[in-house]
Amino acid sequence: MPRQPDPALESRLVAAALRLLDRGGEPAITLRAVAREARTTTPTIYQRFRDRGELVSAAVDTTTDELVALLHPTEAVEGMFREFLRYTMAHPMRAHLMVDTFGRRYAAREKMPAMDLLKARVAEETGVARSQAEDLALAIATLAFGTTQGMIAAGSDTRHAQQLQAAALRALELLLTAFAKAGRRKPKRS
């Protein structure tokens, strides 16, 4: 009787890639290492993923799904920002990978559910137009990524990391306030 394909294999492979990422960063995700970690073979990986890049992309998607699940119940942008920092401090290698892929995915107009959620929350909270909500969401994402990278470099439980977080939260407050004021202004008439 022929072997039946394992329907959970793709999830196992991505989970193995994420464990390797968490332990050794993106360079640790080799097809051979993932096969070993998932207790399968490299040819089996090629049955599910075209190449390493596609597997890494699936790992980013899974990380994004985890992040969106954490962010979704949080209604305020500041709460989302804090939750993002908590998640990335708990998973610093995933944070590096997200930073590395964000710009490329944004430029390619790939699906970005966390960014879409942030844009929606920004629009709700500030009352700005869609184009301004996107600009503000990009500024907030950039601030979050930079803060995360700085906190990781400083050491997540250090005074310097706390200073970085406090400064970022203050900057976030200023951004939200400025955009909310702009969103409530009446358009100038010519």
Query: What SS3 state is found at 41?
Result: coil
Let me know whether 41 and 61 are in one domain. Answer: no
Let me know whether 43 and 71 are in one domain. Answer: no
* 55 close to 31: Cβ distance less than 8 angstroms: yes
Query: Phi and psi dihedrals of 109, rounded to 5?
Result: 55, 40
Let me know whether 69 and 129 are in one domain. Answer: yes
* pLDDT tens digits, one per residue of 9-48: 999 999 999 999 999 999 999 999 999 999 999 999 999 9
pLDDT at 27: 96
Let me know whether 75 and 163 are in one domain. Answer: yes
pLDDT at 188: 44
Q: Which residue's structure tokens are 């401090």?
A: 89
Query: What SS3 state is found at 64?
Result: helix
* pLDDT tens digits, one per residue of 82-122: 999 999 999 999 999 999 999 999 999 999 999 999 999 99
Residue 129 belongs to some domain of the structure: yes
Let me know whether 113 and 146 are in one domain. Answer: yes
Let me know whether 79 and 157 are in one domain. Answer: yes
Let me know whether 159 and 69 are in one domain. Answer: yes
Q: For residue 112, give its domain range.
A: 57-182
What is the maximal distance between C-alpha atoms in the chain? 79
pLDDT at 187: 39
Residues 6+ apart with CB under 8 A from 116: none
